[in-house]
Amino acid sequence: MSVIAATPDAISEAAALLRSGALVAFPTETVYGLGADATNGAAVASIFEAKGRPHFNPLIVHVADISVAHRLAYIPDGAQRIAEAFWPGPVTLVLKRRPDSGLSDLVSAGLDTVALRMPDHPIARSLLVAAGRPLAAPSANRSGHVSPTQAQHVADDLGDKVAMVLDGGATAHGIESTIIDASSERHVMLRSGSVPGLVIEQALGLKLVRSLQAESLKPRASGQLASHYAPRARVRLNVTHGFTEGEAVLAFGPFEAARHRAVSGPFINLSERADLIEAAANLFAALRKLDALGVPSIAVTPIPEQGLGEAINDRLTRAAAPR
Ligand code: AMP
Ligand code: MG
C-alpha cells in the first residue's frame, strides 16, 4: 500500500486500480472513504473483509453527478429537489434501485434500495469521473475504530488491505452525511449528519419524518435493520448431511456438489474454491434466487467463522431466525 499525493497522475492510477477491483482510499468532505467499484461484487466484499466488519450493512454509493444517479435508481420529484439543492454535498438519498443498475447486491445488503450521494471534494469527484464507475465507500477504518480524517490514519489502520491511499490532506467535516430515505413521497431522515434536517426542510419547504429506527441505523447496529432482506424459505445452518427431498442447498467449498447429488432440490455454491470474498459477493443474489424458486427450505453447509465468514454467518443466522 502506498500513500500518494493526489496528483492527476495518481488519480488516474487510482482509477485504474478501482476498475481492476482493488480498494482505494480517498478523501471526501466528511472523512476518508474506502472505495471499491460498486458494480463489482468481489470488490465490494473486500471492503467488508478489509474493515473486518462482523456483519453486512448497506453501503453508500458515491456518484460523479446526478445523471449517474438516474441510471442507478428511480428518483422521485422530492428526491430530485433535495439532490439539486444539496449535491454535491453530505446528503445521502436512499432510493429504489433500477433492476438494470448493474450495482452489486452486496452494496445494498440485499435490499431493493440503494443509498446514493455526490461528494463535494475535488479529489473524490475527479476520482469518480476517472473511474467511470459508481464507488461504494464507507469510512476507511477497521470496524470499531475511529473514522479517519487524514491519509496516514488510513495507512495506520488498514495497511496492506488497501492498494492505495490518495492523500488530500485533512478532511473538512469529520461528520457523516445526513441520510434521507427519499424512495417514496414520505421523506424519512434515517441518520442525522452534516446537514441538519431543519436546513433541508426550510430549503425545500418539506417535512422530514424522523425515523424511530434512527438508533438502529447506526453502523454497529445496522445489521438489525428491520427492512433487511429476509427469505421466505426456512433456512437451516451448518447442514452436512440429511438434506431433505426438494430442499435447496446453499453450499460453500469444493466437495459439496458431489454430496448434493443425493437430493433433487436446487443447488447453488457460494464459492466452489472456498473463497469467502467470492461467497460474500454471491450471498444475497443466491438467497433471492433460491427464494424466488419457492423452495420450502434452504440448507446451508458450514462456512468457516473467520474473516468475512463471520459477516456471512451473521447474515445467514438472521435469515434462519424464527419470524
Ligand atoms: P457508512 O457508509 O458507514 O457511513 O454507513 C452507511 C449508512 O447508510 C448505514 O447506517 C446504513 O445503514 C445506511 N444505508 C445505506 N444504504 C441504505 C439503504 N439502502 N437503506 C437504508 N439505510 C441505508
Ligand atoms: Mg464508519
Distance 227 CA to ligand 1 centre (A): 12
Per the CB < 8 A criterion, the answer to whether 1 and 162 are in contact is yes
Nearest ligand 1 atom to the CA of 225 is 12
Choice from 98, 103, 190, 211 to test ligand 1 binding pocket (greatest atom count within 8 A of CB): 190
Check pocket membership of 179 for ligand 1, CB cut-off 6 A. Answer: yes
Ligand at minimal distance from the CA of 140 is 2
**pLDDT value at position 281?**
93
Nearest ligand 1 atom to the CA of 113 is 19
In eight-state DSSP terms, residue 3 is E
How far is the C-alpha of 148 from the C-alpha of 215, rounded, in Å?
Answer: 22
Distance 234 CA to ligand 2 centre (A): 33
Domain that includes residue 22, residue range:
2-214
Do 159 and 303 fall into the same domain?
no
Do 159 and 241 fall into the same domain?
no
Do 238 and 208 fall into the same domain?
no
Q: What is the CATH number of the domain that holds 293?
A: 3.40.50.11030
* Residue where a domain stops, chosen among 161, 184, 214: 214
221: in domain: no
Do 127 and 186 fall into the same domain?
yes
Ligand at minimal distance from the CA of 117 is 1
Q: What is the CATH number of the domain that holds 208?
A: 3.90.870.10
**pLDDT value at position 1?**
74
Residue 187: strand pairing partners: 208
**pLDDT value at position 141?**
93
How far is the C-alpha of 227 from the C-alpha of 25, rounded, in Å?
Answer: 29
What pairing do the DSSP bridges indicate for beta strands 178-181 and 187-191? antiparallel
**pLDDT value at position 280?**
94
**pLDDT value at position 275?**
96
Residues of the chain under the 50 pLDDT cut: 213-227
Do 90 and 170 fall into the same domain?
yes
Distance 170 CA to ligand 1 centre (A): 24
| Average pLDDT over the chain, rounded to an integer | 90
Do 190 and 252 fall into the same domain?
no
pLDDT in tens, 162-179: 999 999 999 877 688 999
Do 34 and 146 fall into the same domain?
yes
200: in domain: yes
Check pocket membership of 176 for ligand 1, CB cut-off 6 A. Answer: yes
61: in domain: yes
Atom 3 of ligand 1: nearest residue by CA position: 138
**pLDDT value at position 229?**
64
Check pocket membership of 149 for ligand 1, CB cut-off 6 A. Answer: no
Do 273 and 198 fall into the same domain?
no
Check pocket membership of 219 for ligand 1, CB cut-off 6 A. Answer: yes
Residue that is written with C-alpha cell 441505523 in the block:
217
Task: Classify 270 as helix, strand or coil.
Answer: coil
User: Quick one: how many helices (H) and strands (E) in the chain?
Assistant: 10, 16
**pLDDT value at position 213?**
47
Distance 295 CA to ligand 1 centre (A): 30
190: in domain: yes
* Residue where a domain stops, chosen among 214, 242, 274: 214
Distance 138 CA to ligand 2 centre (A): 6
Per the CB < 8 A criterion, the answer to whether 302 and 240 are in contact is yes
How far is the C-alpha of 194 from the C-alpha of 200, rounded, in Å?
Answer: 11
* Residue where a domain stops, chosen among 214, 249, 266: 214
54: in domain: yes
Check pocket membership of 190 for ligand 1, CB cut-off 6 A. Answer: yes
**pLDDT value at position 217?**
45
243: in domain: yes
Residues lying with their CB under 5 A of ligand 2, a single-atom ion: 139
110: in domain: yes
How are strands ordered across the β-sheet holding 267-269?
234-236, 297-300, 248-251, 267-269
How far is the C-alpha of 106 from the C-alpha of 99, rounded, in Å?
Answer: 14
Do 194 and 265 fall into the same domain?
no
224: in domain: no
Q: How many domains does the chain have?
A: 2
Ligand at minimal distance from the CA of 92 is 1
pTM: 0.88
Do 117 and 190 fall into the same domain?
yes
Do 129 and 244 fall into the same domain?
no
Nearest ligand 1 atom to the CA of 33 is 2
Do 202 and 259 fall into the same domain?
no
